Amino acid sequence: MSEASEFRHLVRISGRDLAGQKKLIVALADLRGVGYNFANVITKKLSLDPRVRLGTLTEEQVAQIEQAIQSTTKSALPEWYYNRRNDPDTGEAKQLLGSDLDFIQKSDVEDEKNIRSWKGVRHSLGLKVRGQRTRTTGRKGRTVGVRKATLVAAAKEASAKKEE
């Protein structure tokens, strides 16, 4: 592997500035839509050392990484590596990055709401969607609990005022 002539502190990949002092896999995992395992597979496919710092890579290696991340269908990875399997529109598996991932997630939630599925109803009410407990968690700013001592003191105070 050929080293770059100088160390770069910022490396731009997929429209995002990544820290050059981080190791390759960790830096790639900072991209929205790329996890640690996916970054590891990409580096192995490109036969790069995952322990090397991102800032030491050459421009050609950075271009290879960017092309491998953006055109994952050409990289011949198993379908289960991608974060968008069985896309409802096209039926294909693809890897979404950044704002594309955010947009697709929001549109999926809106689709669930529009068809009035159980998940959509839970989303629209702001409740937990995946079967978690809701008795004591997920209250989002509502009253967390009732203190009995406070209620008893308030009741005594109210009854004392009524008697006067």
Which residue, chain included where needed, has tokens 């004392």? 160
pTM recorded for the entire structure: 0.69
Task: Report pLDDT digits (tens) over 42-62.
Answer: 899 899 998 999 999 999 999
Instruction: Report the pLDDT value the prediction gives residue 1, as an integer from 0 to 100.
Output: 46
- Name the fold adopted by 98-163: 30s ribosomal protein s13; domain 2 (4.10.910)
Q: Degrees (nearest 5) of the Cα angle 60, 63, 67? A: 140
Higher pLDDT, 137 or 143: 137
Q: Could you say which of 3.40.190.10, 1.10.3720.10, 3.40.920.10, 1.10.8.50 is the CATH number of the domain covering 10-80?
A: 1.10.8.50
User: Which residue(s) pair with 18 in the sheet?
Assistant: 11
Domain ranges across the chain: 10-80, 98-163
> Quick one: average pLDDT of 20-40?
91
